[in-house]
Structure formats: structure tokens, C-alpha cells
Amino acid sequence: MSISPTTPTATAIAEIDLFSGLGERERTDLARLAVPRSVEKGELVFLEGDEAEGFYAVVEGSVRIYKAAPSGREHVLHVFGPGEAFGEVAVFEGKRFPASAQALTPSSVFYFPRAGFHRLISTDPDLALSMLALLSGRLRQFVRKIEELTLKDVPARLAAHLLLLRSAQNTDTLTLDLPKSQMALYLGTVPETLSRILAKLSESGLIEVSGKTVSILDADRLAEVAEEGL
């Protein structure tokens, strides 16, 4: 990971969702703190168990957060794109990263060192509130994820995910940002199973798959699958 020549500006900071609500002064402070870095595709940003000296935010590209089992299997916890922060739990825990982070594409990120950020936050209730909102949102996501993983079968998880993409991309013709193999890991399964279920949903006329494009043909029935499984 190399230090990029660009100097972070208050404007760049505003692009980070977490900080977009803050005032000019705070953003300037943060810009002074932020260290820009660029990472190649496949490069590790940090590894599970690494001492957490600070957290990151994606400026460009995408980064996946994943856990690896001794067996070699992996589970993708998150995929973060531009504007999203990751590794922030480290700042308050002062412990080690509980998962690993790896760039999926050539990316650039900001790094916020623990000590400096902690100093800012301990004097600025607005910034603290903003972090609280972030963590709360993450917590909520995890609750939903645990629910899905334990209470629902793979077709339901896939259907739910497709519907989520639909509302995010605001169209019935989805473009998968992630390779299918990564998507399988995210859904807590393996590529073979994902492939079969995509095929099954196609046969049933709920969706149409063509490479990285998935068209939702019958959103209602897809919603049923997401609820009750298939």
C-alpha cells in the first residue's frame, strides 16, 4: 500500500458519508488527520488479528471485509464502496481487527489514526453522535444478517439480496457489482449452490440471468421467496 501524493481536503472529507453532516471546522480537522493511500486489486488493507491503529474510509474502488476459517472457507461480511468507512470499531476498542480487509479493485482510501481521531471525538459531541449513528446502522445490518443466515434458506437469502440491489439501483435490470463467487460468500454459501439457485429462479420465470446482469421479472413472487423460502 503506497502513500498517494494527494493532500486530503475538507471537500474530500465531505464525500465520506460518516462526516458529510459535519461543519466546516470539523471537516478541516479531519482532513489534517486523514492519510491518503492507494491499494492495488487484491491487496490486503489489514488482516484479521492486526493491531488496530486506526480506521479507513473508501474514496475510490471497493473493499471487502471477510472472515476466514481454518478450513479455508471464507465469509464476506461487507463490501464497502466510495464514501463508506470501515474498521471503525477498532478506534473505540483499541484491540485487534476482528476480520480482514482486501481491495476488490484498485482503490484509494483515507486512513484515520486512532489517537488523533479519538482526541477529536472526545471533545466534539456532533462527531460522536455521527459515529453512534453509523455504528447503530451497522448493528442493525448485522441483526438482519444473522436473522437471514439462521432463519432462512439460500433461495430466500438470494431473493432478499436481489430485492435489496433492486431498491439500491432503482431498476429491475440489475448489474452485479461483485463476481458471483464473491456474492456466494456474502450470502453464506458456495458458488455451485448460487449457480443452481439462480438457474432455478430463472426456470421459474422470476428472474433472467445473463452474465453480470440480472433482470427481475416477477418482484412479487421474488418477495415471497425472500419471506418463505422455496
Partner DNA sequence: CGGCTGATTGAATCAGATCAACTGCTGTGG
Partner DNA sequence: CCACAGCAGTTGATCTGATTCAATCAGCCG
Is the CB of 83 or the CB of 229 nearer to a copy of itself?
Answer: 229
- Interface with DNA includes 44 (CB under 7 A)? no
- Interface with DNA includes 54 (CB under 7 A)? no
Helix (H) or strand (E) holding 192: helix 191-203
Within 13 Å of residue 43, how many CA atoms lie on the same side as its CB?
15
Helix (H) or strand (E) holding 226: helix 219-228
Following DSSP, what letter does each residue of 72-121 receive, concatenated? S-EEEEEEE-TT-EESTHHHHH-SB-SSEEEESSSEEEEEEEHHHHHHHH
From 78, 188, 208, 219, residue interacting with DNA (rule: CB under 7 A):
188
Q: 208 CB contacts (<8 Å, ≥6 apart)? A: 202, 214, 215, 217
Q: Is the dihedral of CA 15, 18, 24, 30 positive or negative?
A: negative
User: How far apart are CB 227 and DNA at their closest, in Å?
Assistant: 14
**Between 147 and 186, how does the x/- string for binding to DNA read (CB under 7 A)?**
------xxx-----------------------xxx-----
Adjacent-strand bridge partners of 58: 109
Q: Would strands 54-60 and 85-86 be described as parallel, antiparallel, or unpaired?
A: antiparallel
CA 28, chain centre distance (Å): 26
Residues near a copy of itself (CB under 8 A): 67, 69-71, 73-75, 77, 89, 91-93, 95, 98-99, 121-126, 128-129, 131-133, 135-140, 142-147, 149-152, 188, 227-229
User: How far apart are CB 161 and DNA at their closest, in Å?
Assistant: 13
**Between 57 and 86, how does the x/- string for binding to DNA read (CB under 7 A)?**
--------------x-x-------------
Q: Which does 194 bind (CB under 5 to 8 A by kind): DNA, a copy of itself, none?
A: DNA
How many residues touch DNA under the rule CB under 7 A: the total is 21
Interaction site with DNA (CB under 7 A): 71, 73, 153-155, 179-181, 188-199, 209
